[in-house]
Structure formats: C-alpha cells, structure tokens
C-alpha cells in the first residue's frame, strides 16, 4: 500500500494594488513580456486584473514574489523603464538573499552623458564600485564581460570631474599571446594602440570625444603600456641630497634617508633599476641642472596655475619644446625649504670664518689680519674668539693676536691651517666641506659673514631688494651658490672681466684689476636674514627680500644612460636632486587603472603598486583564467592576493559569471568552462592516486630495504 504524501504548506493569497495605470503598463511590459518573465521566475501563481496583482502560493514563495514586485515598482518610480534584463538581475539578487536592495543597486548612478547613465547592473558590481569608494587599492578579479574595467574607468572619470584627482592614468601589459612590441610592425603608437584600444573606447563612452585629445595633451589623461609606467628615472651618477650631503643616486639603498621638499629627511622605500634610457638635461634659469628620463615627473606651476593657486605634475617629455611662452618661462618649480642637515663640530666660529674669507688675510707667512671699515665686524670677531684680540694697525686694518702673547698671534691650535685655508689668497679661498654639510645655523652664519664683508643689498626703485656678492675665487663662488640653495634661495652669477675695467683707487692712486670677478645675484626666502651688519640689515629689511623662484629654462637630449628610480615616504613624494632641484617620481592625486593584470609578472605587479602616491587610487583588473604569459611565468595577479590579503586599505573584489553583463550566453559559457576545468583537475588527481608506486607529486615512491 502506497503511503499518502504529506500535505504541503497551505496556499495563501497576497494582493498588490498599483494605483497608477501608467506604472502598471510599464510593470507588465510590451505584450506582457515582463509579466510572463515574472511568472516563470517565481513558484507562486500570478494573476493580473485591472490594477490589482494577485499572488497565490506558499507563504515563502509569495513573500519572494511580493518582494520582486516591490523592487520592480520602486525601479519604475525612480524613472526606470523596465527591461527583461533588469527583471532577471533583480530575481538573481533576491535569490542570493543579500541585504542590498536590487532597486538600490540598479539605480546607483556613476556617470551620465547624453541621456545615458553608467551604473552597476549586478550585486557583485555594486560591491565592486563601493569598494573603489572605500579603499585606496582595489583588485577587480573575474571573467570577461563582468564590467571590471568599464566601471573602474567610470569611477576614474567621476573622480576627475569631482576634482578628487588631477589626472587619470590607464595602463595594461603590452605583451600578450607571446607578442612583443619590438617585433610588431609600425610606429610606436601603431604598436601600442591595439593593446590600449579597449581603454580608448571606454573613454569615448564617458567623455566628449573632442575633449579627450586636449586632456591627453595636457597630461590630465595618460594612456600607456605598463612598461612605460616604470619610467620615472634618473641616471646612477645623478646626485641626491641626504642629511650628510649629496651622494650618487646609484648608491642609495632602501631605508636610506634623503632630503624632501620641506628640507627634512625622508626614507627611501623603494628602488627600481630601469636599464638604459634616453635621458634629458633639465636646466633652470639660475643655471642649476639635472639629468632624467622622458617619463620622469616634475611638480610645476604655469602662470594659469599660479592664478588659481594650483600646481600640476608633468613628465619631462610633456614639457619639451614648451618651456617658454614668448619671453615668459612657462614652468615654475618648487624651491626646497631650508635644508636640515646633521650638525657637526667645527674648529672655528662659522660667522668668523665667513668674515675672514671675505676681508681676512690668512696667509701662512704673516700674522692673520682683517680689513674693514665697520668696527662692528671687528668687535664681532673679538667677541667670538676667546683669548684673541684685534689690534688696530691703521684706519681699516687689524691683526689678530693671542692675548698671552704667542708670537705670530695665530688662533689657538691654528684652525685656519687645520681647515686647509692657510696661505689661501683671494682667488683661491673656499668654504670647507665641514661647514657646507652642516646644520642650517652653521651654513647661515658662514653666508652672513661672507655677505657682511663682500656683499650687500641691491636696491632698485619699485622692486624688492636682492643681495649682491662678488669674489675672484671660482670655488668660493660655487660654495656661496651652494649655501644659498641649501637655505632655500636662488643665486645666479655673471663674470666681470678684469681686462678693460676702469682701475680702482687706493689712497687716490689708480690700482688696476688683476683678476676677473664673479658677481652673484641672490634671493633668500623669508625668515633667512642675509646680514648681521646693522646698516645692511636695516636697508634689506626696509625694502623686503622678495621670493626665490626657479623656472625650467631648457630640456635637451643628453644621450642614453643606465637609470633607476626611487620611491620616498614624503607626503608629497618630492626629493632633492642635483643643485637642490626638487623633483619626484611617484604618482600623486591620480586615479590609476591597470587592466589585464593577469599578464603581469610578480615583479611588474610590485613595481606598479609602489608607484602609488599620496591622494591617489589604484584599481587593478584581470581574469586569472586568461593568462597569456610565456610558459612557466607566474602571473602577478595570481600571487598578489596571498601577499596583500592582510594589508589594510587593499580590497579584493571577486566577480563571477552572475556578474556578466554581456549576452546571457556568456555567463553560461563561463560556468561551463569552470565545470570542465574542475572535472579535469579531479580526473588528474584520481589518476595520480591510481598509479601504484607514484607519489602525489608524480615521482616514483621509494622502497624499503
């Protein structure tokens, strides 16, 4: 006797009233296609009469159908025209039992252009978009057709339009299916374009096509192969400023300290050899220069930027040929703040050293002397040197004597000789390195001593006051330039040739000039007083010191050199290179997208992620089942999750076949391949275990003797 099946749950009825006839028409769809799709998607019976919908079935089934109609009605009320695709996606989200409402997912607008709105179409896409808002680095991993790149591009354009970032950088590997750029026909652009075409197409969907070339020409949008992202590099023999002075760029190691734009030390957190590159010499109007590659980054301000109070970041190659607009230099560089270096003990008071280098006689054959018309300076020397007195020998001449009467009167322990200055004449004097590579106070004191003797304020009507200094020593000229630059100032110089100059006068007699003189024009920042001598300080303060400025004057090819790039921890990513020039090579205030990331190596992935600058966001997209790297090469996308899974502010968004937004068949194909791969892996595992004497790794098992 066959048992009677247990009774099912009681069937109940639920009614939904739609007050607006237009809403009901939209809800049913053309030819009732929406209604028929809803009937196929739920287990309850659905009947429509007039403006009333009756749902009959088990309570749980009715609840699902009722929620489905509620979501569809909300979509209509928000101005959406229902489609069968929207219904399928709503059903799918409800069946997943998520807390997010389908109506909220399907009406989350990212961008709107010409009546077309870009928004997520699945729950996975919504979570992916939310993750981009909430995290600095997001990995979008999933099969083709899930909108990974398209949505990332939409978020990038949205961020640019909202002024959350200053530029968009789009990149992808340029090696796929074994092809290498060098072996492809055509120019560089013709080689690159096929790889970058999907990115260009997405851009044209989201921006006015006429504006894209302008944005790319201005550097606001950069589209480049991943290999070109490595670029930002300098040669190994370039110099970089450290707390101990300048060092060769190639000698740096991770953890070393370099000087940032604020004048304080910042650690090096990444070093990346770049190989041989075409490099360029970038020269400023004050004669400072350094060498870097075409992709190296510079923070600059154009006249338009300065009016708006903004700065921009440009590559070297973007500025070539555009250095001037008429007679005006276009690109102003930031000037380093007064540099903080490690203090060191010095054998002689730094201000006194500056005075002696200016107006002192430090010949080793005579008693040290000092010549000045300002008794204030003589008093300063006497007060700074213990056991030393200045004995006046004439109207302006003094000799330095030891109070205990030692013959020769040389300063105790003869620091002048210790510093290598004994016997130096006016054309050979210099500032010893221990003073140049010392604290800010020491460097400033030396400069003040030099300017109080051989310098002075240069006043012009209607202009701020600059400082002028002259010397016949080329080394002392360079040392003064170094001191000025290290204090956040700018110095230019010119030669005043001895030949042809009108002789000077000494006691009414003409004295011809025997050496060329170097005349320096100096600008120092506010808060750095160039003078201690009262009469000079008053005149300088009365007219104001102005503001040091540096402008790019020329960018010229300098051959091919081995290069590397560094990353520093400074908030603005800036560091100080040759001649105290401020530069950097990471990407600040940028939205960066790496597409097709499954075709990166682990080394390339690390290189790319460490390009991240402050105020920037990175989105990495890829499909780990579509790796085109040469056999045996590990995909950087496959290993990065294991490496970064516990790193804060890094998110991995996994999309699946349910997030495919192309033809429905694409999702079915993705699922079919996934099942096939799983079955094949299972069969291979079973065959390994079925062969006697084989280990799980496929080797011959050892035998016991």
Helix (H, G, I), strand (E, B) or coil at 56: strand
**3-class secondary structure, 457:** strand
Domain region containing 515: 350-501+511-548
Query: What CATH number is associated with residue 327?
Result: 2.170.16.10
Residue 431: other Cβ atoms inside 10 A: 25
Identify whether residues 542 and 618 lie together within a single domain: no
SS (H, E, C) 178-242: CCCHHHCCCCHHHHHHHHHHHHHHHHHHHCCCCHHHHHHHCCCEEEEEHHHHCCCCEECCCEEEE
Instruction: State the CATH number of the domain containing residue 198.
Output: 3.40.50.300
- Regarding whether 521 and 386 lie in a shared domain, the answer is yes
**Residue where a domain stops, chosen among 85, 107, 129:** 107
Residues 403 and 470 in one domain: yes
Nearest Cα residue to 574 out of 565, 585, 590, 563? 585
Same domain, 517 and 566: no
Does residue 1 lie within any of the structural domains? no
Q: Is residue 340 part of a domain?
A: no
- CB-based contacts of 538, cutoff 8 Å, min separation 6: none
Q: Rounded to whole angstroms, how far apart are CA atoms 223 and 199?
A: 8
pTM of this prediction? 0.65
Which residue in 71, 13, 60 sits closest to 38, CA to CA? 71
3-state secondary structure of 159: helix
The answer to whether residues 192 and 265 belong to one domain is no
Angle (nearest 5°) at CA 15 between 9 and 16? 135
Residue 124 lies in a domain: yes
Q: Cβ distance 361 to 512 under 8 Å?
A: no
- Residue 555 in domain: yes
pLDDT digits (tens, 9 = 90+) for 199-241: 778 888 888 888 888 887 766 887 776 765 555 689 999 999 9
- Indicate whether 162 and 289 sit together in one domain: no
pLDDT in the model for residue 198: 73
The single-letter DSSP state of residue 544 is: -
The answer on 204 and 75 residing in a single domain is no
Identify whether residues 312 and 419 lie together within a single domain: no
- In the prediction, which pLDDT does 18 show? 86
CA–CA dist 686, 679 (Å, integer): 11
- What per-residue confidence (pLDDT) applies to 663? 59
pLDDT tens profile 429-474: 999 999 999 999 999 999 999 999 999 998 876 677 889 999 999 9
Looking at the fold, whether 403 and 489 belong to one and the same domain comes out as yes
Predicted local distance difference test score (pLDDT) of residue 187: 43
User: From the first residue on, what is the mean pLDDT of each consecutive set of 10 residues in the chain (705 residues)?
Assistant: 62 85 84 87 88 89 88 84 82 79 81 78 90 95 90 93 87 57 44 62 84 78 68 86 93 93 90 86 96 87 82 84 91 94 92 89 66 84 78 74 56 67 86 95 96 90 83 95 96 87 74 85 93 93 85 96 86 88 76 91 84 83 87 88 92 88 65 73 69 47 37
Secondary structure of residue 91 in the 3-state scheme: helix
Q: Residue 544 maps to which CATH number? A: 3.10.28.10
**If residue 102 lies in a helix (H) or strand (E), which one and from where to where?**
helix 102-105
Q: Which residue has the tokens 């009167």?
A: 409
In a domain, 341, yes or no: no
Within this chain, do residues 518 and 579 fall inside the same structural domain, yes or no? no
Q: Is 530 in a helix, a strand, or coil?
A: coil
- Bridge partners of 298, per DSSP, are 314
Q: How far apart are CA 78 and CA 90, in angstroms?
A: 15
Inter-axis angle of helices 123-134 and 148-161, to 10 degrees? 40
Query: CA-based angle 505:507:511, to the nearest 5?
Result: 35
Domain end, chosen from 647, 662, 677, is at 662
Asked if 59 contacts 43 with a C-beta cutoff of 8 angstroms, the reply is no
Q: Name residue, tokens 């590159």.
A: 277
253-to-234, 265, 372, 497, 615 alpha-carbon distances in Å: 15, 15, 49, 45, 26
Q: Do 460 and 520 have their domain in common?
A: yes
Handedness of CA 686, 691, 696, 699 (dihedral sign): negative
Number of independent structural domains in the chain: 4
Residue 271, domain member (yes or no):
yes
Rounded Cα distance between 475 and 477, Å, is: 5
Residue 698 lies in a domain: no
Q: Are 171 and 226 in contact (CB under 8 A)?
A: yes
Does one domain contain both 272 and 295? yes
Q: What is the CATH number of the domain that holds 26?
A: 3.30.1370.10
pLDDT at 336: 93
The SS3 assignment for 514 reads coil
């Amino acid at each position: 006797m066959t048992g009677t099946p247990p009774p099912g749950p009681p069937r109940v009825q639920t009614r939904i009233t739609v007050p607006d006839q237009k809403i009901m028409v939209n809800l049913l769809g053309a030819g009732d296609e929406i209604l028929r799709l809803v009937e196929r998607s739920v287990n309850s019976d659905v009947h429509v009469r007039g403006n009333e919908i009756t749902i009959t079935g088990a309570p749980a089934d009715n609840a699902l159908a009722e929620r489905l109609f509620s979501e569809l009605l909300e979509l209509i009320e928000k101005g959406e025209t229902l489609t069968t695709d929207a219904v399928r996606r709503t059903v799918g989200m409800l069946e997943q039992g998520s807390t997010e409402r389908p109506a909220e997912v399907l009406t989350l607008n990212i961008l709107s252009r010409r009546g077309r709105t870009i928004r997520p179409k699945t729950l996975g896409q919504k979570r992916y978009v939310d993750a981009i808002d909430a995290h600095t680095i997001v990995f979008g991993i999933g099969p083709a057709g899930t909108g990974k790149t398209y949505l990332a591009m939409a978020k990038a354009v949205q961020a640019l339009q909202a002024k959350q970032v200053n530029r968009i950088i789009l990149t992808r590997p340029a090696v796929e299916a074994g092809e290498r750029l060098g072996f492809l026909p055509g120019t560089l652009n013709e080689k690159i374009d096929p790889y970058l075409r999907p990115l260009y197409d997405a851009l044209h969907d989201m921006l006015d096509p006429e504006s894209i070339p302008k944005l790319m020409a201005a550097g606001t949008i950069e589209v480049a192969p991943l290999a070109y992202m490595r670029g930002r590099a300098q040669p190994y023999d370039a110099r970089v400023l450290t707390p101990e002075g300048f060092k060769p760029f190639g000698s740096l190691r991770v953890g070393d300290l370099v000087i940032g734009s604020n004048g304080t030390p910042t650690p090096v957190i990444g070093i990346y050899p770049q190989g041989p590159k075409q490099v360029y010499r970038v020269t400023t109007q004050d004669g400072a220069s350094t060498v870097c590659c075409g992709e190296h980054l510079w923070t600059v301000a154009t006249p338009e930027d300065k009016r708006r109070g903004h700065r921009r970041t440009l590559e070297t190659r973007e500025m070539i040929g555009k250095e001037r607009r008429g007679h005006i230099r276009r690109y102003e560089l930031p000037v380093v703040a007064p540099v903080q270096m490690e203090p060191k003990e010095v054998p002689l008071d730094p201000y006194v050293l500056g005075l002696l280098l200016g107006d002192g006689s430090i010949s080793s054959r005579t008693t040290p002397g000092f010549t000045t018309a300002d008794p204030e300076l003589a008093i300063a020397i006497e007060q700074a040197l213990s056991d030393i007195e200045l004995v006046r020998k004439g109207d302006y001449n003094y000799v330095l004597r030891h109070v205990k009467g030692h013959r020769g009167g040389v300063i105790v322990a003869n620091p002048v000789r210790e510093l290598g200055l004994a016997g130096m004449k006016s054309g050979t004097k210099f500032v010893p390195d221990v003073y140049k590579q010392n604290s800010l106070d020491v460097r400033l004191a030396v400069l003040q001593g030099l300017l109080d003797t051989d310098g002075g304020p240069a006043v012009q009507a209607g202009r701020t006051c600059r400082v002028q200094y002259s010397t016949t020593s080329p080394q002392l000229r360079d040392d003064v330039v170094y001191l000025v630059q290290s204090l956040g100032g700018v110095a230019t110089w010119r030669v005043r040739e001895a030949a042809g100059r009108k002789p000077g006068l000494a006691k009414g007699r003409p004295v011809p000039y025997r050496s060329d003189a170097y005349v320096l024009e100096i600008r120092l920042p506010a808060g750095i007083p160039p003078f201690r001598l009262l009469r000079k300080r008053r005149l300088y303060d009365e007219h104001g010191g102005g503001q040091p400025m540096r402008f790019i004057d020329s960018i010229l090819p300098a051959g091919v050199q081995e290069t590397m790039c560094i990353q520093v921890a400074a908030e603005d990513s800036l560091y100080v290179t040759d001649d105290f020039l401020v530069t950097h090579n990471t990407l600040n205030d940028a939205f960066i997208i790496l597409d097709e990331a499954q075709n990166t190596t682990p080394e390339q992935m690390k290189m790319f992620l460490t390009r991240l600058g402050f105020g920037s966001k990175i989105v990495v997209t890829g499909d780990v089942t579509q790796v085109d790297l040469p056999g045996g090469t590990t995909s950087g996308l496959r290993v990065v999750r294991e490496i970064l899974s516990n790193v804060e502010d890094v998110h991995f968004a996994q999309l699946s076949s349910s997030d495919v937004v192309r033809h429905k068949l694409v999702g079915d194909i993705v699922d079919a391949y996934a099942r096939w791969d799983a079955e094949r892996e299972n069969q291979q595992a079973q065959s390994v275990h079925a062969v006697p004497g084989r280990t799980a790794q496929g080797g011959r098992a050892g035998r016991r003797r």
